[in-house]
Amino acid sequence: MTLRFLAILILSSAYSLSARDKPNVLFIISDDLTATALGCYGNKLCKTPNIDRLATQGTLFRRAYCQATFCGPSRASLMFGYYPYASKATGYTSGRKEVGEDKDSWAQHFKKNGYHSARISKVFHMGVPTDIGPGRDGADDPASWNEAYNSPGPESKTPGFGETLQDNPGGLKKGAAGGNRFSTVEADGDHLVHSDGKTAEKAVELIHKYKDMNKPFFLAVGFVRPHVPLVAPRKYFEPYPIDKIVLPPKIPNDWDDIPMNSANRRTSANWQMDLIQQKKVVRAYYASVSFMDAMTGKVLKALQETGQRDNTIVIFTSDHGYHLGEHDLWMKVSIHEESAKVPLIICVPGKKPAVCHSLAELIDLYPTVSKLCGLKIPGNNQGKDISGMLDDPALKVRDAVLSSGKGRLLRTEKWALLDYGKTGELYDMEKDPKQYNNLINDSKYAEVLSGMKEKLKAKLAEVQKNDLGEK
């Protein structure tokens, strides 16, 4: 062996060692999952043992918010690191055409910096069930990945006991109707019948394959449940008989101070859902969440079994929250608390488990995980590095969070301003966390209101000023 060859051998093994020394990243994103359905956020009925266990191993963020309360724009925002107000990525899009070819997505940033990047199922936007049925790419961004897989599933056509719970008075129409609505199927067969079952198995396969790879991985795993249709193997429905389901309280005159012109119209009345149908929706939602939790458990188990748990950062979240009957509201798009808040767990090997009450945004994931892996944070990224909160959960990086949907939400620790232009809602989140008492027309709070409006105006101006070009 010549000296020159020996030198190359030593150098190349040193190089691969330093690349392999970086932690892997496993990013798990559920679809339409509200924090209120998870045990680790206080739900006493819905069974989520795997996510709850992950929460005890990492940092659980109790005040994390999405930047848009529906799929496409929220995912484009968190994957590219721009507010929808800045990128204008607000529709059925990955965000790529809006931000341009010269900007790197979060996954692409890792791919360009020595990581093997892979996607399974819905990470950028996909229509559920329209893209999931045939297993299409949806609004994917191919430049983000070294490899990508879709997980087709039969959705509302899954064999089993199906029902349509929305716009079906008296349940006269039998079976689960297709489309984006409250249809449910207590499905025959095992997890592999379903998109999320296939997603979990593919993730397990890749995690085993990556064990001996000479570079770290960035693996993004997208589960589509509990997005409608609410379809899961039958056994996941069994812990939730109808008489165990408790709906949020029906408050008399709750809607008297919610502006009719702006709020979400997805109400029990507009969708003609009686009390039993409402409870059946919650039951099927919980079954879907428990199924998704079990699939999450399979992926985490593979990480453990291959000995990679100790060098992998695990992130679990959802693209936005969801209403399960609060104010008689359902689904997303609303900017009330249950719809704008997201579950967020970041688990970094070697860091102490914690619960963090400081404000955080999904847009912060890109810079934070870059920092944790020793990668440069792109200068034009609009998220903030919140990695310091993992060492000190009392640390505050943001004094307010910004979200959007039907209107704009500015949320500080104490106040929530839901702004619809000419109308709005103002809540004292310390005294009224369920948002029953809109203070916007109460003269006692005029000063608070003008302060929050100024703050929102300044924040919007700040994020819109960024032309995405600053480096």
Binding site for Ca ion (CB under 5 A): 31-32, 71, 319
Q: Compute the Cα dihedral for 256, 258, 263, 265 and give only its sign.
A: negative
User: CB-wise, 202 or 225, nearer to Ca ion?
Assistant: 225
User: CB-wise, 71 or 347, nearer to Ca ion?
Assistant: 71
| Rounded CA separation 169/171 (Å) | 5
- Shortest Å distance, C-beta 223 to Ca ion: 11
| Rounded CA separation 471/469 (Å) | 6
In the three-class reduction of DSSP (H, G, I as helix; E, B as strand; rest coil), residue 100 is classed as coil
- Shortest Å distance, C-beta 74 to Ca ion: 7
User: CB-wise, 68 or 390, nearer to Ca ion?
Assistant: 68
- Shortest Å distance, C-beta 227 to Ca ion: 6
User: CB-wise, 78 or 118, nearer to Ca ion?
Assistant: 78
| Rounded CA separation 446/449 (Å) | 5
Please give the single-letter amino acid code of residue 453. K
- Shortest Å distance, C-beta 431 to Ca ion: 31
User: CB-wise, 80 or 110, nearer to Ca ion?
Assistant: 80
**253-273 residues labelled b (16+ CB within 10 A) or e (exposed):** ebeeebbeebbbebbbeebeb
Please give the single-letter amino acid code of residue 466. N
Residue nearest Ca ion, CB atom distance: 71
- Shortest Å distance, C-beta 327 to Ca ion: 20
Residue 421: other Cβ atoms inside 10 A: 10
- Shortest Å distance, C-beta 230 to Ca ion: 14
Do you know the residue count of the chain?
471
Question: Which string of DSSP letters, residue by residue, matches 397-427?
Answer: --S-EEEEESEEEEE-SSEEEEE-SS-EEEE
Which of 322, 315, 291 has the alpha carbon at shortest distance from 61? 315
User: CB-wise, 320 or 398, nearer to Ca ion?
Assistant: 320
User: CB-wise, 72 or 160, nearer to Ca ion?
Assistant: 72
Residue 190: other Cβ atoms inside 10 A: 10
Paired strand residues for 2: none
